[in-house]
Structure 1
Amino acid sequence: MSDLMQQGWQLLVLGMGTVFTFLIILTFATTAMTLIVRRIPQAAPVATPTPSQRNNNALQMEKIAAVAAAAKAAHNR
């Protein structure tokens, strides 16, 4: 086998080994971070709006839509 082919195989093994090693380290790091994050206490759950609050939001959106429609109608005159 020529010297150039031997160098090519060495470079191939070195490059593949480097990538394989990096991926193994990345896998362990991701697993470790997942375990760490799962141990952190979660924040309090977000309160869901009551039906009256939802109705209030809907009414406000209807008012905004009505004002926008009136402004558009006045502008088009």
Structure 2
Amino acid sequence: MSFKIMRIKAGFTQPQVSEALGIPQSTIACWETGRALPRADKLPVLAKLFGCTIDELLDVPEKGDAQNDELLKGERKDEC
């Protein structure tokens, strides 16, 4: 499930999530479009906020998936 769908299902707006995490709203938009991923220290807060696990939040990709390979290389950044 996409980050945006999880946020909406949990009943939050981008501004509410950005305020809860103390980050710019543009960062939330980047997460939702797949241009960036949340930093590890934000994951527990997001999971609690959305009522899900961290794995569900990240929609953990299968081994060999292009996104997973990119993550393992460390090419994705927290902010765009």
Q: Same fold (TM over 0.5)?
A: no
Higher RCO (CA-CA < 8 Å; seq separation 6+): 2
TM-score calculated relative to the size of structure 1: 0.19
Larger % of helix: which? 1
TM-score calculated relative to the size of structure 2: 0.18
- The structure having more radius of gyration, on CA atoms, is 1
